[in-house]
Amino acid sequence: MDAAPLKPFQLSQPERRAMLSRHFVGLVEQLVRDAGSYSDVSVEAIIKAGGISRSTFYVYFADKGDLLVAIAHDVIADLVASGNAWWQLPTDASRDDLRRALRAPIDTYREHRTILATVTETAAYDPRVREQQQLLVDRVVSALADYICNAQRNGAIDATLDVNRVAQWMVWMFERGLYQLIGGADDEETDRLQDSLTDIVWRVIYQR
């Protein structure tokens, strides 16, 4: 028999904070689209959209920047998780396999393009958001570096590649490309960009 779901009062404060931040993702995305930028969205607007009291908001978040940190953790974590489609490829994967795997993070970014663009823009001036972004980027770099190392040991990837630096370049190139190119692209242009990204990754990492 399945256990009964936990009720809010049974959760710890960090768990309730995480639950609230997930609740706010779609609401904040809509507020940002309406206002034009996160800096123009007031705490009052966030509270009203979320259907909670001001006192409840400040129990879990110091300010709207702190809320964005919590949202960033959730949404960027989703983006990181979607990258598993690449890390889980066999080392002898084909170019078509790679293309399909790279589509997963592209689609996740498009789903949350508003909030992820907000995170990127806010990270430029809010050290809390920048730290959250950096921590999660570091996780992706580490995952890609491990994947390249394993493939090198199997003889599937050029053993002379500088693993850590190649992983750093790839991940930051991908992050910037999602923001600058994928964020505003329609379906047809997204397909073309996906092809170009596949070409770059294939030639740098896989093609011998």
Is residue 3 assigned to a domain? no
Is residue 71 assigned to a domain? yes
Is residue 1 assigned to a domain? no
Q: What is the pLDDT of residues 54-83, one digit of tens each?
A: 999 999 999 999 999 999 888 888 888 898
Average pLDDT on 177-195 reads: 95
pTM: predicted TM-score of the whole model, two decimal places: 0.82
Q: What is the pLDDT of residue 3?
A: 45
Number of structural domains (the chain) is 1
Q: What is the pLDDT of residue 99?
A: 96
Is residue 137 assigned to a domain? yes
Mean pLDDT of the chain: 89
Question: Percentage of the chain with pLDDT > 70?
Answer: 95
Average pLDDT on 25-29 reads: 92
Is a pLDDT exceeding 50 seen at residue 1? no
CATH number of the domain at 25, please.
Answer: 1.10.357.10
Is residue 88 assigned to a domain? yes
Residue 59 CB partners (closer than 8 Å, separation 6+):
13
Residue 40, domain extent: 8-206
Is residue 64 assigned to a domain? yes
Is a pLDDT exceeding 70 seen at residue 2? no
For 51-60, which contacts have Cβ atoms below 8 Å and span 24 or more sequence positions? Answer: 52/20, 59/13, 60/13, 60/16, 60/17, 60/20
Is residue 2 assigned to a domain? no
